[in-house]
Amino acid sequence: MLKLKFQNCFESVRKAFLILDTDSNGTIEVEDLLKYLGNDQDMNYDDLKKLLIDKDSRKIGKLSYADFSRWMGTVIH
């Protein structure tokens, strides 16, 4: 579901990462995604945390640009 939403909203992986990294710390965290998603009832903190840990190469729940690019690179052009 996130992939589809990002595909429709962003034209490049780099721009998506910069917009989603709301605190400009070089990673995307659950809080960053929740800020972007707003009141989307289909996503909650625990689900997003599990998803980020799964996609994070370090398994700490923070996506670096490289992790985000591997995950979204084929979806966002």
Residue with tokens 């579901």, as numbered in its chain: 1
- pTM score, two decimals? 0.84
- What are the pLDDT digits (tens) for 47-57? 899 999 999 99
Domains observed in the chain: 2-72 (1.10.238.10)
Give how far Cα 25 sits from Cα of 6, 33, 59, Å. Answer: 20, 14, 17
* Cβ-Cβ contacts under 8 Å for 14 (sequence gap 6 or more): 65
- What are the pLDDT digits (tens) for 37-77? 886 667 788 989 999 999 999 999 999 999 999 998 877 75
The CA-to-CA distance between both ends of the chain, in Å, stands at 17
- What are the pLDDT digits (tens) for 4-23? 888 888 888 888 999 999 99
